[in-house]
């Protein structure tokens, strides 16, 4: 029985470093406190050898659809919290319909902007190397526009870092923020609004924008 809040429908867009660690943290936490609903993970990528180490996959998952691997491992038919897979990329606003909350954690500006236009609660999680950025539906529209320029897709690891053995964990911080936000939203409590920082250099300030 759910004693701590209503059933919710959460969409997580992206099953990379941030998304996989987020869903691992969140599923366990929600079940621990008896919250019910569905978590849908959306991503069209397949597991590659280069994903291992910072994304929550194993050697046996290579070649399989990322979201199918996650749902197979984390879903439980006997639980009131279900984990569902959608092995497609997020391309249009209609794919966001029917969810109470949305978390976007893919490093492309187009899906982010579609999520930013939603009226329901959403979170935008980003990372690069040991740094992270968290923006939400409570962030100002001016800041969102400033922080979401056009750019090519990027990995959460700096170019060449994995080849040199320099794995960095900004993705894990972003995932932790996402898990905390989603849990509090699920419960109807105050959730994190925004954050930017580096594990090496500490908290960083957002750029000044006109209100």
pLDDT value of residue 4: 60
pLDDT value of residue 28: 97
pLDDT value of residue 1: 43
Regarding the domain delimited by 8-203, which CATH topology (the fold level of the hierarchy) does it fall under?
Rossmann fold (3.40.50)
Average pLDDT over residues 177-198: 97
Sketch the domain layout of the chain as residue ranges: 8-203
pLDDT over threshold 70, residue 211:
no
Bridge partners of residue 123, in order along the sequence: 103, 136
SS3 127: strand
pLDDT over threshold 50, residue 124:
yes
Bridge partners of residue 101, in order along the sequence: 10, 121
pLDDT tens readout for residues 127-183: 999 999 999 999 999 999 999 999 888 877 788 877 788 889 999 999 999 999 999
Residue 210 binned pLDDT confidence (cut-offs 50, 70, 90): confident
pLDDT over threshold 50, residue 23:
yes
pLDDT value of residue 89: 96
Average pLDDT over residues 57-73: 98
Top pLDDT among 60 and 50 is at: 60
pTM of the model: 0.94
Separation CA 46–CA 16 (nearest Å): 10
User: Which residue has tokens 């606003």?
Assistant: 93
34: left (phi over 0), alpha (psi -120 to 50) or beta: left
């Amino acid at each position: 029985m759910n004693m701590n809040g209503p059933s919710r429908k959460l969409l997580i867009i992206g099953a990379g470093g941030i998304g996989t660690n987020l869903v691992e943290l969140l599923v366990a936490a929600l079940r621990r406190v008896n919250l019910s609903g569905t978590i849908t993970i959306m991503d069209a990528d397949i597991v590659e050898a280069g994903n291992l180490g910072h994304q929550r996959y194993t050697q046996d998952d290579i070649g399989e659809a990322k979201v199918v691997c996650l749902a197979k491992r984390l879903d439980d038919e006997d639980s009131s919290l279900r984990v569902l897979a959608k092995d497609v990329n997020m391309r249009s606003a209609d794919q966001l319909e029917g969810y109470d909350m949305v978390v976007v954690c893919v490093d492309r500006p187009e899906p982010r902007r579609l999520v930013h236009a939603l009226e329901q609660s959403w979170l935008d999680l980003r990372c690069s190397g040991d740094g992270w950025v968290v923006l939400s539906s409570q962030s100002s529209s001016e800041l969102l526009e400033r922080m979401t320029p056009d750019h090519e897709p990027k990995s959460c690891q700096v170019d060449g870092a994995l080849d040199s053995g320099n794995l960095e964990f900004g993705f894990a911080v972003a995932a932790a923020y996402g898990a905390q936000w989603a849990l509090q939203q699920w419960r109807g409590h105050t959730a994190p609004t925004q954050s930017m920082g580096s594990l090496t250099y500490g908290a960083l300030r957002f750029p000044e924008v006109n209100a």
